[in-house]
Amino acid sequence: MDVLPMKNKDEYLLSGAEILLQGLVAEGVDTLFGYPGGAIMPVYDALYDYNDRLRHILVRHEQGAVHAAQGYARASGRVGVALATSGPGATNLITGLADAMIDSTPIVCITGQVFAHLLGTDAFQEIDVVNTTNPVTKWNVQVTEAADIVPALSKAFFIARTGRPGPVLVDITKNAQNERITPPEYRPCRSLRTYSPKPELQPSQVLAAAALINEAKRPYLLAGQGVILSGGTDALRAFAEKTGIPVACTLLGLGAFPTGHPLYAGFLGMHGNYAANVNTNVCDLIIAVGMRFDDRVTGNVATYARQARIIHVDIDKAEINKIVRADVAVHADAREALEALTAQCLPNRHDEWLSSFRQLSEVEDAKVMRQEALRDGPVRMTEVVHDLFRQAPENTIIVTDVGQHQMVTSRYFGFLRPRTHITSGGAGTMGFALPAAIGAALAMPGTPVVAVVGDGGFQMTMQELGTIMQYRIPVKIVLLNNSFLGMVRQWQQLFHGARYSFTEIENPDFVQVARAYNIPATRIDQREELPDVIQDLLAAEGPFFLEVVVAKEDNVFPMVPAGAGVADMLLELPVTRAPIQTE
């Protein structure tokens, strides 16, 4: 009888790197954004055989990887994943981790690390990434043995996506990536003993909130990103339509409530709508859902909504009573809370209250829109955004950088659907838009994605044009070029006597730069060209770059001066160029 040869026991073993990739597949990951290096090389070697299961996008800088993962997550609602090596590779992720932390974006960053026996020796490219990233991650962990990769990874994805989402980092030493072991079964994490991500909705809190809502004469709902993250946009609309309550949105909440709805009250914040801000100090009840009373929304807290009762709905208990004290705190998921409140609240109308928003909007139109409607002189940023909104399909995803163009886009592009507005909110990260747009486009194939950027922020990450070129990513780019760091210049004009200290910027030929990356590009400086060139941009099958030369000293109004209250909005540039006193 023939004797069958014994199999080598190593055939049953997998490296830690292979186990990691199997875990990513088990978590439903399909796209990775990363940049290889020595300490993460075993993972990249294993990735060579995973091309049919995991798409890897080689970015041009690790900051591009983490922002792309953010854009992927924000557009899709899934967890974005970024890979980087140790040392500077890992530290280059920190800006994106901080951005994701404050903006509640679910990402998992995986970094390579030096061999375990070298930890603490200042080995080449060794950085204590766990302690370095503690303040900017929801959770992080260092793995030094292959057997610990599966439990660390499953826990990472569970923490990143549940409760208030956020960034998680898993740091894996090189020996753990190389070590070969019998692969453990991958079981996604479903619960943790010390972590309760979804609080149980308390009926008593709902009843107390409903009682305030039913008796209010001038109720006002402020919708934040938590409504979108919870999948609660339909619940918000049902609640508003039953109760007749006007709804305003925060910067990250744009898209939670359609801007064309009769109950839409406007955009909150420093550069938001006049009515939305002023009536904050007129209402008798604020229902804040999934928002954290950021300083750009409240202005001077000492004068913020002193006349109003406050209902605060938030999944993160740490946000409740942190800035503004709530009369009724509803510690719950936003969608569940809105559905419960809709059931308990009485049908109502607030016609006179709604009319006050329209009257204040007319004041804004007279002061702000009238000036922006003047079609003379250089092209204005608002004209570009208006034309883009008129022509773009309703499902277009708009990704903005940080600055004047961001505020203009937030004000004048009418966001009708959730997850169509992606920007850096709390951190205000210049350079965010281009890589985030790459992530959004890869997350949502077939959906138009337009990055609206300024000439300053664009140059912080414009090397990612190489990523667009290599993978033929159909991102459309609209660059509003005023040859200034525009928002800083506006503040210098208003608050520092127009002393433009190091804000005027000499730029390269952006069209030639884009064309060097094989991206079709054009530049215009005449408003008559806008409609046709935007049509060309949106119709392009692949990427397209449009530079629009806009007025150098264009300003964004209304504006709440720093230190002022929300009712003290500037609607136009003061006659004097002397600094404005806000204290």
What is d(CA 331, CA 314) in angstroms, rounded to the nearest whole number? Answer: 5
Q: Give me the CATH number covering residue 258.
A: 3.40.50.1220
565, β-bridge pairs: 299
110, β-bridge pairs: 83, 170
Which residues, other chains included, contact 180 with Cβ-Cβ below 8 Å and sequence gap of 6+?
A: 10, 13, 14, 15, 16, 146
Among 41, 115, 125, 463, the active-site one is 125
Among 487, 544, 545, 569, the active-site one is 487
Question: Which pLDDT belongs to residue 253?
Answer: 98
Q: What are the distances in angstroms from CA 101 to CA 69, 76, 108, 194, 557?
A: 13, 18, 11, 20, 29
Q: Are 30 and 177 within one domain?
A: yes
* Residue where the block lists tokens 């992927």: 72
Element (H, E) at 286: strand 285-289
Q: Are 163 and 21 within one domain?
A: yes
Question: Which pLDDT belongs to residue 1?
Answer: 38
Q: What is the DSSP string of 321-348?
A: TTSS--SEEEES-HHHHHHHHHHHSPP-
Clarify whether 487 is annotated catalytic: yes
301 found inside a domain: yes
Alpha carbon 465 to its chain's center: 20
Q: Are 266 and 311 within one domain?
A: yes
559 found inside a domain: no
Q: Are 161 and 131 within one domain?
A: yes
450 found inside a domain: yes
15-27: burial string, b at 16+ Cβ within 10 Å, e else: bbbbbbbbbbebb
Among 62, 179, 336, 364, the active-site one is 62
Domain that holds residue 268: 203-356
Q: Are 385 and 348 within one domain?
A: no
64 found inside a domain: yes
Task: Check the CA dihedral 143-145-149-152 and report its sign.
Answer: negative
150 found inside a domain: yes
Is the N-terminal amide bond of 558 cis, ω within 30° of 0? Answer: yes
Q: What are the distances in angstroms from CA 504 to CA 63, 245, 404, 481, 550?
A: 25, 45, 14, 11, 14
Q: Are 345 and 423 within one domain?
A: no
373 found inside a domain: no
Q: Are 235 and 343 within one domain?
A: yes
**Other beta carbons within 10 Å of 203:** 10
Clarify whether 125 is annotated catalytic: yes
What is d(CA 387, CA 149) in angstroms, rounded to the nearest whole number? Answer: 50
The answer to whether residues 320 and 331 touch, using CB atoms and an 8 Å cutoff, is yes
114 found inside a domain: yes
pTM: 0.95
Element (H, E) at 495: helix 486-495
Q: Are 156 and 71 within one domain?
A: yes
Among 124, 200, 362, 572, the active-site one is 124
188 found inside a domain: no
Q: Are 41 and 105 within one domain?
A: yes
Question: What's the structural domain count of the chain?
Answer: 3
Clarify whether 124 is annotated catalytic: yes
Q: Are 132 and 32 within one domain?
A: yes
Among 174, 177, 270, 460, the active-site one is 174
pLDDT tens-place values along the chain, 583 residues long: 344 343 455 668 999 999 999 999 999 999 999 999 999 999 999 999 999 999 999 999 999 999 999 999 999 999 999 999 999 999 999 999 999 999 999 999 999 999 999 999 999 999 999 999 999 999 999 999 999 999 999 999 999 999 999 999 999 999 999 999 999 999 999 999 999 999 999 999 999 999 999 999 999 999 999 999 999 999 999 999 999 999 999 999 999 999 999 999 999 999 999 999 999 999 999 999 999 999 999 999 999 999 999 999 999 999 999 999 999 999 999 999 999 999 999 999 999 999 999 999 999 988 886 655 567 789 999 999 999 999 999 999 999 999 999 999 999 999 999 999 999 999 999 999 999 999 999 999 999 999 999 999 999 999 999 999 999 999 999 999 999 999 999 999 999 999 999 999 999 999 999 999 999 999 999 999 999 999 999 999 999 999 999 999 999 999 999 889 999 999 988 765 444 444 4
Q: Give me the CATH number covering residue 133.
A: 3.40.50.970
* Residue where the block lists tokens 């079609």: 375
With 0-12 / 13-18 / 19 or more C-beta atoms within 10 angstroms meaning exposed / middle / buried, residue 125 is middle
Q: Are 177 and 218 within one domain?
A: no
Q: Are 409 and 540 within one domain?
A: yes
